[in-house]
Structure 1
Amino acid sequence: MKTFDLTPNELSAAFALVEACLEEMGGKRPSDLERDEFTWISVRTLCETGLWTWPQAKGTLSSLDKKGFVQIEMDGDREASFVTTDGWRWLDTVWDSRP
């Protein structure tokens, strides 16, 4: 299994992103995404938590993209980003340690 060396800010964002995915698909923990891989995210996903401004969220997502936790893709002028399978599977291994 791939592991990720995330900063505290990136780890908080990872938890927030996956929690948002789980809320949308009715799951309780990342392993629930195995059956319903609803992993679409955006800068707005982080901003809606109230913990990141738009520029902070954009920078954090960019960092997570560079580390392979998320993948940022552009569909024309529209961003189509998602948490990678390796990302949410790894997060499941540390899920019970989230604040």
Structure 2
Amino acid sequence: MAKGYWITFYRSISDPAALAAYAKLAGPAITAGGGRFLARGNAVRAYEQGVAQRATVTEFDSVELAVAAHDSPAYREALRVLGSACERDVRIVAGSD
């Protein structure tokens, strides 16, 4: 079974305090769902229309676990706290075998 990867690119952040409050809830919700953070932070370089902004890569044992973590009540609460504090591009993709 292919691993699942939850990849988030932050295009802009308008409310850093709300993002910090989101992170306090989102991190535990994601790890409780089996997620392991592989990379988190600001981009070192951005190429090909990329934005040098915050990005995260989280690994799960399967795509199904990644989707379940995203759709969990605990993560939905984190999203509620985040509100419109940032513009993001969130994707869940299957790993290559």
Larger radius of gyration: 2
| Structure with the largest fraction of strand | 2
Q: Tell me which protein shows more helix as a share of its residues.
A: 1
The structure whose RCO (Cα within 8 Å, separation 6+) is larger is 2
On whether the aligned pair clears a TM of 0.5, the verdict is no
Q: Normalization by structure 2: what TM-score?
A: 0.32
